[in-house]
Structure 1
Amino acid sequence: MYLRRLYLAASELHPGVLAALLACHMALSWLLLAWAGEADLLTPSAFLYWYGTTASTVGYGDLSPKSGAGRLIVAFFVMPGAIALFTTAIARGFAGLSDRWRRRRMGLGDYRRMSGHIVLVGYDAERTPRMIDEIVADGQGQEIVLLATQPLVATATTYRFVHAAQLTAPADLTRAGVPDAGRVVVYGPSDSDTLAATLAVTALNRSGHVVCFLRDRDTARLLAAHCPQVEVVMTPMVELVIKALSDPGSSRLIAQLASHTDDGGTLYATTAAVAESFDAAAARLRRAGAVLVASCGAGVDCPIFDPDATIAVGDRLFYIARTRIAA
């Protein structure tokens, strides 16, 4: 068994075998040069420098064998072996990089070591590119990983791609870095797919913010009963349609407040660092170029607009500004 493993490693030029061959060749080269009396090449720094320039075919010429025996050793043993090992190592290195790039391009990359990033679970040809554009325009600099069952080819530079057999597959979700993701957005082809994928995500991610898109209110209630920490967004939003009927133009304003790509103001949220009145917090944000519109206390599901409220440390503050304001 061990001989077979050694044979396979040697036949495939495993990095360990290649390193061992290089070490043996360097040691034999040094011994032969010492036997030939090439004292100028025997100190560690001089030998490593000379061996590296010889193996890479640079050959500066400032160090070279002086005796006839030394030159023959270099010509018939050092040069062929060093150059062959050097070119093999370079070829294997580029082949490894090429294979890694190809795997990532085809969605076979592994991003489980990432943390604090954003994972988009599910792909919709119209909605997903817009979501990615919005995230990038937000300017927080978080990495984006897209997990989809479609055989996409990751040519974009704004996100990483993971091809999954199913949106609920734990191995693929882990490969996308879901357990340590800061935010996860789930949007499946149907509500049942979204529900199943959200349950799979929450089983792996306990601390990140999970958002899912659902169409059916009963499904949303079922998810809220089992995963109250998940934020559910209903699509299409009936409230937005009714609001547009009652107050013409309001739908465009709300869309602008939700978008980072428009030139107008955008709705942002931050965490209160000091306890103060609503008016004091509003004045503080106004000096920074923002308008405070609502606050949300700990344990409260919905933001409220109450100018007489008192802001506590840790409350969420919702404000409108052209750009996100530093904490």
Structure 2
Amino acid sequence: MTTWIKAKRIMSRYLSEMRWYVILAFTAFYALSCWMLLYAAGEQDLLASHDFTYWLIVTGSTVGYGDMSPSTEAGKWIVALYVIPMGLSIFALILGRVASFVGKQWQKGAKGLNSLNLDNHVVIIGWNGKRTMQLLKLLLIEKENSPLDPDILLCVKADIENPMPSKIDFVRVTSFNNDDEMDRACIKEAATIIIDNPHDDMTMTTALYCSKRNKTAHKVAYFDDETLVPLLKVHCPEIECTPSVAVEMLAKSAFDPGSSLLHHDLLDVYDGQAQFSDTIPESAPALSVEAFFLALKKQYNATFIGFASHENMQSISVNPAFDETLYPKDKIFYIADKRIRDIDWKGLNANSKNL
């Protein structure tokens, strides 16, 4: 085998791999060889460092402004037969490498293989097809009405791509309890974690893991079998468990026709009245339920339905008596046509005194 054939095979292998150091080496060789050929041809006007760099880029990429060009016959032949053809090859190689890199990064993002850098975001763990898609649509609507505007991230084990690539972030993992993989979803920095897996046992283990990794996040877990809820509550009392209520709604509608429509309307964020919540700030004064109920209705046309004391957020007092008191850091629940932004708590207190 001749030396030329060996060299050709080595060059073909390096070019096929198209590594960056190969491209940089060929670019340096191209620039040096062009300078030497122009020097040999006597093109003194093109050899100054800044002029040569500018001219080579413009000529090699075939932009060709024409403000600088070879003046000798030999220089023109060098440009026509070497500078432009080689420049085009290297230019195309660089563009192709950049396009390939961008394409791979986009594919990694779509497949959920990238590590993210998020904070105070909403994480949905699990994939249930149409149910998860509906959940994502509802969360995006809630996000538009939220003053915090949190990022939404879907974390799955299923072999799928990002179902909403332009609207949500996406991470695919092999395990929901592996630190390295869940760190790609920034699980420790999440403000809200929603766990909804196809199997309740997976939801249970994932909830236990999330409770260990992130103590402060608001965590919600969905169970088909509500008998598992007390078991999780023993170990993670801070997790809000949401069992299926389909059977309960059927029974309720049988004796109170229209109940299912009412509850659907209160949960629907697309149209009509809906249920919302807010936390009373520490700077707000204490209010009686009667004063707050009347002032909220008069000032915002909203209906107060219950509250959770800051001392026990897991217990909600629905339809409380008028003589009960609401304190700062309590969470209140109300019905309105849209979320009330920046409730004027001092104004409510002032209005309540005039009622």
TM-score by length of 1: 0.80
1:68-111 alpha-carbon deviations (Å, 9 max, x no partner)? 45434434543344322211111111112222333344x34224
Cα drift, residue 314 of structure 1: 3.0
Show the counterpart of 2:128: 124
Residues 26 and 319 from structure 1, CA distance in 2 versus in 1: closer, same or farther, beyond 3 angstroms?
farther
Distance 1:298 1:60 in 2: 71
Show the counterpart of 1:320: 335
Letter in 1 for 2:279: T
Residues 246 and 170 from structure 1, CA distance in 2 versus in 1: closer, same or farther, beyond 3 angstroms?
farther
2:316 partner SS? coil
Residues 161 and 58 from structure 1, CA distance in 2 versus in 1: closer, same or farther, beyond 3 angstroms?
same
Q: How does 1:63-142 map to 2 (within 5 A)?
A: 63-105=68-110, 107-138=111-142, 139=144, 140=146, 141-142=149-150
Q: How does 1:188-199 map to 2 (within 5 A)?
A: 188-199=197-208
Deviating more after overlay: 69-78 vs 224-233: 69-78
Q: How does 1:147-158 map to 2 (within 5 A)?
A: 147-157=155-165, 158=167
The answer as to whether partners of 2:108 and 2:114 remain within 8 angstroms in 1 is no
Letter in 2 for 1:302: S
The answer as to whether partners of 1:212 and 1:233 remain within 8 angstroms in 2 is yes
Cα drift, residue 233 of structure 1: 0.6
Residues 254 and 155 from structure 1, CA distance in 2 versus in 1: closer, same or farther, beyond 3 angstroms?
closer
Residues 48 and 223 from structure 1, CA distance in 2 versus in 1: closer, same or farther, beyond 3 angstroms?
farther
- Identity, in percent, stands at 26
Show the counterpart of 2:346: none
Aligned length: 318
TM-score by length of 2: 0.75
Show the counterpart of 1:293: 305
Q: 1:270 aligns with which of 278, 290, 295?
A: 278
Q: 2:67 aligns with which of 47, 62, 67?
A: 62
Letter in 1 for 2:309: G
Distance 1:286 1:47 in 2: 77
Show the counterpart of 2:154: 146
Q: Structure 1: any 5+ residue segments left out of the alignment?
A: 1-6
Distance 2:20 2:311 in 1: 55
Residues 244 and 11 from structure 1, CA distance in 2 versus in 1: closer, same or farther, beyond 3 angstroms?
same
Cα drift, residue 169 of structure 1: 4.2
The answer as to whether partners of 1:34 and 1:42 remain within 8 angstroms in 2 is no
Cα drift, residue 153 of structure 1: 4.0
1:53 aligns with 2:36: no
Residues 23 and 100 from structure 1, CA distance in 2 versus in 1: closer, same or farther, beyond 3 angstroms?
same
Distance 1:99 1:216 in 2: 42
Show the counterpart of 2:315: 302
Cα drift, residue 9 of structure 1: 7.6
Letter in 2 for 1:83: L
Show the counterpart of 1:4: none
Q: Structure 2: any 5+ residue segments left out of the alignment?
A: 1-11, 343-355
Distance 1:68 1:282 in 2: 94
Letter in 1 for 2:99: F
Distance 1:48 1:314 in 2: 66
The answer as to whether partners of 1:112 and 1:178 remain within 8 angstroms in 2 is no
Show the counterpart of 2:8: none
Distance 1:187 1:103 in 2: 24
Letter in 1 for 2:272: G
1:13 aligns with 2:28: no
Q: Cα RMSD (Å) of the superposition?
A: 3.3
Residues 20 and 65 from structure 1, CA distance in 2 versus in 1: closer, same or farther, beyond 3 angstroms?
same
